[in-house]
Structure 1
């Protein structure tokens, strides 16, 4: 695996929009200021800066490729997710990333790009915050999200043992209309271990519904020996069952080392219970350790997980530990 250089103060962080368009200029400005407040030079891509229209796949890929080929850009943060990130994959310059590895970070629909770059360029990528939902949080980024991002991208040391967030929020505020106060936080609920055992393997995963879009393509990575992590934005358990079935049929779970599940978002306790039961059954079928309730993906705050670095999962000790540094 290629490991990108760590993010240092003064580095250029580029904002790309490979999926949904940016329609909230005030929120965009706040996210840019948040990154500047961390000490980075921020460069907005033309799609984020140029208006609220939908761009073609070629235009969205061209924006990414400009950043891939720019030696000054050290980190690329997605502005937000969406539905059509997979359309850019065939146009991306993976060779440019092999020649000059960079930090690429996002989640949700950006999962397709993270997995494709990991597969085609052999580069560690980062499942973590995007600009508008997390970095632009009012009045500032949630500390757990901020610290996780910096530990993964700006420190050439392993993340080490992960810990659940002490508090979280599921409150929704309409951007640029109602997001002028902090969201209400409630005490965290911790993790729930679903199946015993121990396992070590590279972290590979992302949004459950999005991973399946790559099944049968040359962009889906090999999940052999992986610590598979999944999160979902679904609220219908039948959608989850369908997506899990697709991954099972694609062989994603066949030889995995462990299984991590993120906490669902605004789906209700009945959904969460059913979700965990389905994942418990998968873990039992393949006899791997599994844990639920991690702060991954559609969860505020969230941890940043680097794809391609090893994680150790020990159900008996209650430990999820990232063993390798994701940057150099």
Structure 2
């Protein structure tokens, strides 16, 4: 596994809009402040031209244009980290234009979530290069920084090796008033062990992201799952997954598909984040839907963890080895 060098003061962080760009005035204010605050931490921060652009489809440009923008950062020897501006729906349009080969031979951190799974997942599974499934750059624009944001920078600086579940999470959509807001404490964080175990402990190599995105990468030239799980089968695989907008039938269908393809054969366990939008016409819970497919694998399964759209979220180094412990509604993820 190619692990990028940890950031050091004076390094350059590049910001680009891989899917949608930032045009809302409060969100622009937040991103601009994020860049200032990262600069105050000792980093040079640059942005591509598409950062504050968005067309009628919610894209910062064509796939070719977005590919050109990220390649400028990939080929810039001073850039040590690339952060996404936002998610969206059409990140896959730029995949054919990204110089993954160069990035794998000259690794630097890529960080993003949601639609950015399009980049994180092939980078890890096909090009054997670690990447971070974590917050967009705008979160660094809150004032003051909360612990999850400190963690997000600490992970790529190499100073944060152990992540502890957070106290509370955002269960509702909140609009910005100042642009500098932190995470809202709507509900208490409570991890759930799938079979009601007192404690779960899982060790293995991390892979995952947004399930909505992973499923349309499966079987394409950007799907390196089989190579990845076979290469690291002696470590065992920890699947970390979360969903943006899936019904119970959709989750069941796609997990069944992945299971039938053999993608879970070396799984040491699963950890699921909090689903953003979930619906069941038969009143089936999210946990029941997942367990109906995965229960017979007889490996630990954790739900409602700090991963994904209902922030705050862990910065997950996909491709890294980790140990995860879940007990009494709280959890720890430690990179090993």
TM-score by length of 2: 0.84
Summarize deviations over 1:198-243 as a string: whole Å, max 9, x none.
5421100000111111111232233453100001112533332333
Q: CA RMSD in A?
A: 2.8
CA drift of 1:184 comes to 3.9
Match of 1:149 in 2: 152
Summarize deviations over 1:223-280 as a string: whole Å, max 9, x none.
4531000011125333323332332233322221110010123658999971112223
TM-score by length of 1: 0.86
Contact 2:191 2:331 in 1 (8 A): no
Out of 4-13 and 315-324, give the one that drifted further: 315-324
Instruction: Please state whether the residue corresponding to 1:36 is helix, strand or coil.
Output: helix
Contact 2:114 2:213 in 1 (8 A): yes
1:171 aligns with 2:172: yes
Match of 1:298 in 2: 309
User: Does the C-alpha gap of structure 1 residues 66 and 84 become closer, same or farther in structure 2, counting only changes over 3 Å?
Assistant: same
User: Does the C-alpha gap of structure 1 residues 179 and 32 become closer, same or farther in structure 2, counting only changes over 3 Å?
Assistant: closer
User: Does the C-alpha gap of structure 1 residues 37 and 21 become closer, same or farther in structure 2, counting only changes over 3 Å?
Assistant: closer
CA drift of 1:314 comes to 5.2
Match of 1:245 in 2: 256
Q: Among 206, 217, 237, which residue is 1:226 paired with? A: 237
Cα distance in 1, alignment partners of residues 181 and 190 from structure 2: 26
Kindly report which structure 2 residues correspond to 1:76-95, keeping only aligned pairs within 5 A, or say none. 76-95=82-101
1:69 aligns with 2:75: yes
Kindly report which structure 2 residues correspond to 1:34-73, keeping only aligned pairs within 5 A, or say none. 34-38=34-38, 39=41, 40-49=43-52, 51-53=53-55, 54=59, 55-73=61-79
Contact 2:141 2:180 in 1 (8 A): no
- Size of the aligned set, in residue pairs, is 317
Task: Show structure 1 runs of 5+ residues with no match.
Answer: none
Task: Show structure 2 runs of 5+ residues with no match.
Answer: none
Match of 2:133 in 1: 127
Match of 2:27 in 1: 27
Cα distance in 2, alignment partners of residues 146 and 240 from structure 1: 30
